[in-house]
Amino acid sequence: MTRAYLCLPTFLLVVLTLATCGSSRTSEGRPGVAPTPGFQQYWSQGLGELNHYALTQARYGELRQGDAVLIFVTEDFLTTEQVKFEGKGSGAHTSVLKLNMIERFNTGIYDYSLMTSCFSPVDGTPALKVNTSVQDWCGQVFIQLNRKERGYAGRSFSYFQSEGDRTFNTPDVWLEDALWNQLRIDPAKVPVGKFNVLPSLRYLSLVHKPSTSVEVSATVVVQGDTSSYTMAFPTLQRTLTIRYRTSFPYGILGWSETRPDGFNANPPVLTTEARLTHSSNLPYWQLNSNANDSLRKTLGLERMPVR
């Protein structure tokens, strides 16, 4: 797969980037492959990778300040039930890289909380499960996709009358939410060129769009220690760029998303941005006592108010 490298002349850089547009992959029939070298050693230490980002989030036509936390950890996952394997029963299970993505910001007097979870087999086969929940003081929305033999079965629950509770099916396409995990497993295998993708569930929830796949055009650019993966969504007037470390373990350095934001006739085009501030590897599920509150500072997070 062609990549653009630092210090190449600008013309050659453009040529190499455009060359990737002639290549595309879909998730259908995607074979399982071994993860990138060093993957097992890094992710089998019994630790989760915790990353804090300074977040500037577009909402209702304005930019809001907030926090984002990306939590990556490997675990065993039951492939039929599609839940965490806890050592009971004899069902088939596989190792997955789990991403929990949490975003929090205020809109005036009230606050928003978003969480997306994605479970991707480490062998590079399609994600088994993705869900998103969005809560604010008005209500909440929840969407979940479960991998089936071909494509995904979806369920959504919303307090909005126009959306309500429903079931739907998604064809066998790439999931935007799963591409974050693929960058961590092996960025050389993310799709480039033109292909169909289901936009992230949190994006679909925030803008109240149906769970329908769209065509995107994606490129990878390598600039020394930093690489970027950019997807352009022409029909959505949206562009997403994820910045990550070029070398293993390919940590996510930040992202930016540019799109019309707001619900009036001519919403402004705004850019959501997130910048990595802190990263730490910890067994966070064990650090749940009051005495562990101080560890939040190691991630640049405030302690909960003490009364």
Q: Are 30 and 174 in contact (CB under 8 A)?
A: no
Quote the mean pLDDT of the chain: 88
> Does pTM top 0.85 for this prediction?
yes
Rounded Cα distance between 28 and 151, Å, is: 8
Residue 75 CA: distances (Å) to CA of 60, 106, 117, 121: 37, 33, 13, 10
Interval 161-215: pLDDT, tens: 888 899 999 999 999 999 999 999 999 999 999 999 999 999 999 999 999 999 9
Question: What integer is the mean pLDDT of 257-275?
Answer: 95
Query: Cα–Cα distance between 83 and 90 in angstroms, integer?
Result: 14
pLDDT at 305: 73
Question: For 96-145, how does the pLDDT look when each residue is reduced to its tens digit (9 = 90+)?
Answer: 999 999 999 999 999 999 999 999 999 989 999 999 999 999 999 999 99
CB atoms within 10 A of CB 79: 15
**Where is pLDDT greater, at 117 or 84?**
117
- pLDDT of 282-302, one tens digit each? 999 999 999 999 999 999 998
Q: Which pLDDT score is estimated for 164?
A: 86
Handedness of CA 138, 110, 64, 101 (dihedral sign): negative
How far, rounded to the nearest angstrom, does the alpha carbon of residue 276 sit from its chain's CA centroid?
15
CA–CA separation, 21 and 2 (whole Å): 10
Q: Where are the domains of the chain?
A: 10-299
- Return the pLDDT at 36: 79
